[in-house]
Amino acid sequence: MNKNELFRKIPKVDVLMSRPELAEAIEKYGKEPVVGILRHALEELRKKLNEDPKEEILTGFLENLENRVLQKVESHKEANLKHVVNATGVILHTNLGRAPLPPIALEKLMEQMKGYMNLEYNLSEGKRGERYSHFEELLCHLTGAEAAMAVNNNAAAALLMVSAVGDGKEVIVSRGEQIEIGGKFRIPDIIDQSGCTRIEVGTTNKTRLEDYEEAITEETGALLKVHTSNYKLIGFTQSVERDELCALAKKTGIPVMEDLGSGVLIDLSRYGLRKEPTVQESIAAGVDVVCFSGDKLLGGPQAGILVGKKEWIAKCKKHPLTRAMRIDKCTAAMLETVLSMYEDEEYAVKNIPVLSRMTESPEKLKVKAESLAYRFEKEMPEGVTVGVVNTETPIGGGSLPGEMLKSYAVTVGKAGMNAEETAAKLREGELPIIVRVMEEQLLFDLRTMYEEEFDAVVDVVKEVLRG
């Protein structure tokens, strides 16, 4: 067969598109990506036939065509955002999406998001409602506050709080609490952005009640307390306790705001962890507005939650920034479900992943580590050594600084292996695995790994170490 005849035998794109598998792919992914990949494949075929005009090449190509196109379309359409295995042991890993969400809440979310919903619709009155109404009562019930709302994240909540409560006046803050909360966002910047005047009192290591007292003038709009949740000041230090600050505020009639950072709703010391101030304690002490993150120790969706006295929360709700920072319906729904899980602490600790991971005992993690190590040993190629070691990992996400959780990790090593390169390969597959490397060994920390992931992890690691 000559070249021209061979070229004439190449089917037209329209004809190929009507083949059942490809028609199905078009239905599923749309015409453009499928046809694009098909055209590209035909171009390559023409090039090949031009160089080597053999009929076998054409028939072989046509036989394999559907599979090749389908594979390419599928990988082209695979989302960039995907599930990864977190084997670092860091529970609130900001780069890995911080808090993993409770499966119970996700199932519910699917139902809630499919069609329309009563996001801002009051069903009993048949008119406009408020998007916070679905979880406001719950937040008040859980924290003891009079009113509540939520915005996109806690950085936004802090800015809104200072803007609305400070109201362009002077805001007094201790020099020991001028923290950076990450992403170049700093407390002094927030105060400056709010349009209030920043009045710094005390020194880096010591601030006394008199420092606040002396700074209060006619121009004072509010006092700001910031929980230094992402670092720890030790040594010759002094700061003003929340109670004292609230007493001073009460005496002078000036509101107190507090940025709690990783707001917890349960007493962590009950679980052998270091005590973090709870939101309830801030409210009980008399703080007027408290803001905290939804996706740190709370274990919910990314959000900035504001709770406090009715008067001040009402001001926050009315502030123009609120519209620019408002949460979407997924967040509102997820917040409601996660908060409702806190009605029973035992249930929350069991079913909210951040809490269940944090409170899992080292003994249990050791058993899991041994079970993973056993599977690795059984499946790994020749020359791979597997072990179980003690580890200590931070909680992450700027929560509980200095607090290390005792855990166990499985180590995997191989003579001559470049551990960093192997770790990079583990990140590149269809199921990326993020590991730590220590002394040329790969570390799989059980604090953040799920047993359901073990099979897939063993398969991926086996493949990578074989190659």
Ligand X SMILES: *Cc1c(COP(=O)(O)O)cnc(C)c1O
> Which residue ranges make up the site for ligand X (CB under 6 A)?
153-155, 158, 181, 226-227, 229-230, 259, 261-262, 293, 304, 398
Q: How far is the CB of 156 from ligand X (least distance, A)?
A: 7
Q: How far is the CB of 363 from ligand X (least distance, A)?
A: 31
Buried b (16+ CB within 10 A) or exposed e, 187-216: bebbbeebebbbbbbbeeeebbbebbeebb
Residue whose Cβ sits closest to ligand X: 261
Q: How far is the CB of 423 from ligand X (least distance, A)?
A: 27
Q: How far is the CB of 230 from ligand X (least distance, A)?
A: 5
- Would you say 294 or 413 has its CB closer to ligand X? 294
- Would you say 99 or 464 has its CB closer to ligand X? 99
Q: How far is the CB of 336 from ligand X (least distance, A)?
A: 18
Please report, for the chain, how many H helices and E strands are present, in that order. 20, 15
Q: Token pair of 54, please?
A: 């053999």
- Would you say 248 or 260 has its CB closer to ligand X? 260
Distance CA 163, CA 180 (A): 18
| Cα angle value 159/165/166 (rounded, 5°) | 80
Biggest CA-to-CA distance, the chain: 100
Q: How far is the CB of 93 from ligand X (least distance, A)?
A: 13
Distance CA 158, CA 171 (A): 13
- Would you say 308 or 398 has its CB closer to ligand X? 398
Buried b (16+ CB within 10 A) or exposed e, 11-43: eeeeebbeeeebeebbeebeeebbbebbeebbe
Tokens 């406090």 sit on residue: 308
Q: How far is the CB of 279 from ligand X (least distance, A)?
A: 13
- Would you say 153 or 422 has its CB closer to ligand X? 153
Burial label, 57 (beta-carbon count in 10 A; 0-12, 13-18, 19+): middle
Q: How far is the CB of 154 from ligand X (least distance, A)?
A: 3
Helices (H), 352-395: 353-359, 362-379
- Would you say 180 or 360 has its CB closer to ligand X? 180
Q: What is the DSSP letter of 165?
A: H
Task: Count how many residues are written for the chain.
Answer: 467
Distance CA 158, CA 153 (A): 9
- Would you say 223 or 461 has its CB closer to ligand X? 223
- Would you say 181 or 365 has its CB closer to ligand X? 181
**Bridge partners of 387?**
411
